[in-house]
Structure 1
Amino acid sequence: MKQSLTGRGDYGIDAPIVVRNLLLMGAMFLLIGVTLFFIFPERLKWLGVTIGSVFLFSFLVVTAEALYMVWSSKVGKFRMREKLLDLVAMRGDERVLDVGCGRGLVLNAAAQRLSTGKAIGIDIWNTRDQSGNHPEATIANARTEGVAERVEIVDGDVRRMPFEDNDFNIVVSSLTIHNIPNADDRLQALSEIMRVLKPGGRFAILDFQHVREYADMFNQLGAHDVQIVGPYWLMFPPVRIAIGRKAKES
């Protein structure tokens, strides 16, 4: 069952520190570039114009990147969550886990596709990864979107998830696993995803880093039909999605 959300939820800006730093860097490049046009003497004016133009071009590039990131947080990621959920082909009666649910962008969209199922989100709510990231914001968004009765959130680390084996039909994740800096720990996180999936359960992991590594690790963990789809340019940096399923019991 696929329905539209109300669209009233507030899902913040992704990587707000990066966006801020890009804007500050752009302002610095602009200031330096304009200054260089005027400080060189007339006989070296060509040099000031040349160097200043390089700084002004840099201003345009980093400012465009910052604005692209803001656009992807306000528009692109909403479109990408639908692509992500389409890939796991929900019926409506599943138990769905959103790993790194943040303020509930994917979690609430998954819940909206459910009739008798449940969407559970797990996160440690790191504000460096998303502005205003807090469990209260997640709950508020679920209420605003009208899906609170089908949503549950859990405070926990993906590397040590407090769920039983074979607990979920579907596991999804968006822009989360790359925040784990160590490859062994990323493998542990993917091992946990495989552990909590029911036999035959499906996964879809969206990220802009390490996606080939995820696919290789899932194959190593015995997943079936592992594929990478993308890249998609609706978000910046562009993202890809690792999909597959847990083997069915023989």
Structure 2
Amino acid sequence: MAAPSPRPAGSYGMDASWVPWLWAAIGIVYLVLAGFSVFSWGAPLWVTFLVAVLGLAFLAGGALFWNASAHGKFLVWRELLDELPAPARVLDLGCGRGAVTIMTAEAFPRADVTGVDLWRSIDQSGNSPAAAEANATVNGVSGRTRFVTGDMTALPQFDGGSFDLVTASLAIHNIHSPLGRRSAIGEAWRVLSPGGRLVIVDISKVDEYIVHLRALGAALTVRRAGWRMWWSGPWMATRILIAAKPGASS
């Protein structure tokens, strides 16, 4: 019997959906140029080879990006959630169409999970509360999930210490200013209960998060997510940061 898919049922769009298409288009252009160079322009063989390699590299980068968005991130999060102690209350920052929210509700059948987002389609195609709610319904977790509109840099709707687990998947780096990213980290830490865990899976700004969380007194573990979350290649790799808040055991 085939193993069940790590991707929950439903539709989750693509992260920055224009990127893999751009990489694929550039790759095709290079391959076309390689063909012209050998058949029409009489270029040296090494030039044709170099241009063809560049074309294949761009196609491979687009394929890796597509795999990370369509498959890899779901595998990584399934494995990550299996490592965590069971929470009762969870907040998913930048939840998008609800993938991590839903997988968390599935992993912890007694947990209530809230997803918050500004629903920007540039970050994930087809973003909307209705799309997230539809995905939760088709996976049978709508009774334990809710989706609210909110800015992760300011979460006045949530009291301090309200959640045993706070997650953020490829979301905080989309905040353009360092001050905004610091505010998001501060808010995540504020709403986290003593003994709770903040789990961030992200790309380019993880070193910033580490600095801020150490200043807040977090106990940190950081590791790489591996090739399954390469967003075109190892130069755009994903890291996993788990920050434990001092206090009573969650």
Q: TM-score, normalised by structure 2?
A: 0.89
- 1:130 alignment partner, SS class: coil
Task: Map 1:115-126 onto structure 2 (within 5 A).
Answer: 115-126=109-120
Superposition deviation, residue 21 in structure 1: 1.0
Deviates more, 1:80-89 or 1:21-30: 80-89
Q: TM-score, normalised by structure 1?
A: 0.89
Q: In 1, Cα distance between the equivalents of 2:229 and 2:123?
A: 15
Asked if the contact 2:220–2:242 (Cα under 8 Å) also holds between the matched residues in 1, the reply is yes
- The count of aligned residue pairs is 239
1:183 corresponding residue in structure 2: 178
Task: Map 1:45-56 onto structure 2 (within 5 A).
Answer: 45-47=42-44, 49-56=45-52
1:194 corresponding residue in structure 2: 189
Q: In 1, Cα distance between the equivalents of 2:7 and 2:184?
A: 32
Superposition deviation, residue 28 in structure 1: 1.4
Asked if the contact 1:84–1:206 (Cα under 8 Å) also holds between the matched residues in 2, the reply is no
Superposition deviation, residue 9 in structure 1: 1.7
Asked if the contact 1:232–1:239 (Cα under 8 Å) also holds between the matched residues in 2, the reply is yes
Q: In 1, Cα distance between the equivalents of 2:109 and 2:225?
A: 31
Q: In 1, Cα distance between the equivalents of 2:6 and 2:62?
A: 27
* Cα-to-partner distance string for 1:97-116 (whole Å, 9 max, x where unaligned): 11111111110011112333
- 2:84 alignment partner, SS class: coil
1:141 corresponding residue in structure 2: 135
- 1:122 alignment partner, SS class: strand
Letter in 1 for 2:192: L
Letter in 2 for 1:241: I
Asked if the contact 1:212–1:228 (Cα under 8 Å) also holds between the matched residues in 2, the reply is no
1:157 corresponding residue in structure 2: 151
Superposition deviation, residue 52 in structure 1: 2.6
- Describe the shift of the 1:166–1:204 C-alpha distance in structure 2 as closer, same or farther (beyond 3 A): same
Asked if the contact 1:102–1:133 (Cα under 8 Å) also holds between the matched residues in 2, the reply is yes
- 2:114 alignment partner, SS class: strand
Residue 246 of structure 2 is aligned to residue 243 of structure 1: no
Residue 13 of structure 2 is aligned to residue 12 of structure 1: yes
Superposition deviation, residue 6 in structure 1: 8.2
- 2:135 alignment partner, SS class: helix
Superposition deviation, residue 120 in structure 1: 0.3
Letter in 2 for 1:114: F
| 1:68 aligned to which of 64, 89, 105 | 64
| 1:82 aligned to which of 78, 82, 96 | 78
Unmatched runs of 5 consecutive residues or more in structure 1: none
Larger Rg: 1
Identity %: 34
- Describe the shift of the 1:105–1:221 C-alpha distance in structure 2 as closer, same or farther (beyond 3 A): same
